[in-house]
Amino acid sequence: MASKAPPRIFSPDRRLAARRRALVLQRSPDAPRYLLEDMVEDVPERLSFLRFEPRRALVVGDWTGNLARDLRASGAEVTEVDPAHGFDEEAPYPFDGFDLIVSLGTLDTVNDLPGALIHIRKALAPGGLMIASFLSLGSLPVLREIMLAADGDRPAGRVHPMVDVRAGGQLLQRTLFADPVIDHRPLQVGFRSFDRLIADIRAQAAGSVLADPGPALGKAARARALEAFEAAGKDGRTVERFEILTLSGWKK
């Protein structure tokens, strides 16, 4: 019996365009990088806690290059790839035998997340470790409310669905990772304008890439969005929350 194809929630073309746009925007010296920097900084701490020193590692999605530099400094051979450069996370990897695979900020917008995790596990050597971090359920609550206010009686899909902690654990079990660990942490950021919030999201490839996106905001809808943004703030700042989910597990 043929396997059932996963639902097409995300547009691969929009996903690719969003990541390529983010790489261009990241060339600015003051580009926001706090989401990826948080994920990158978490990895060495986990490896230190586990006393795990990989010899061969694959890093997916770190456009800063900082994690690869840290791993190389500890003696690891590191391969770096990114969806923006054509790396397909939903297809079998063209290489394998890694002691460590780290995926940062990319798996929340694949249509076949179980399949992507299986490809990671297959690319690991026996005894290898996967660490995957991405935005999860609970992220962007303020933006969700702003978009609902902007759309009025006809809400459209603006913020894509996200995985929660429970689903993350189920995914690791389903994809046969051993000793799975699932945790999440909040990151709160204050914004002085709605436009800056949207710009930060775009510059970090954290925006919606839904296959069926909502229509562009018209003048009246944008006015409602600005009003809702101001209403959600205090002392000239509106605080948005990002929830970072980290999944880790071993290949036995």
pLDDT tens, residue by residue, 59-95: 999 999 999 999 999 999 999 999 999 999 999 999 9
Residue 51 CA to residue 44 CA, distance in Å, equals: 10
Map residue 32 onto helix, strand or coil: coil
Residues of the chain scoring pLDDT < 50: 1-2
Please give the radius of gyration of the chain, using alpha carbons only, rounded to the nearest integer: 19
Residue extents of the structural domains in the chain: 12-250
β-strand 77-81 against 56-60: which pairing, if any?
A: parallel
Q: What CATH number does the domain located at 12-250 have?
A: 3.40.50.150
pLDDT at residue 174, as a whole number: 96
pLDDT at residue 1, as a whole number: 43
Write the CA distances from 235 to 17, 26, 105, 127, 222, integer angstroms: 36, 29, 31, 51, 22
Map residue 69 onto helix, strand or coil: helix
pLDDT at residue 237, as a whole number: 97
pLDDT at residue 3, as a whole number: 58
pLDDT (tens digit per residue) in 178-204: 999 999 999 999 999 999 999 999 999
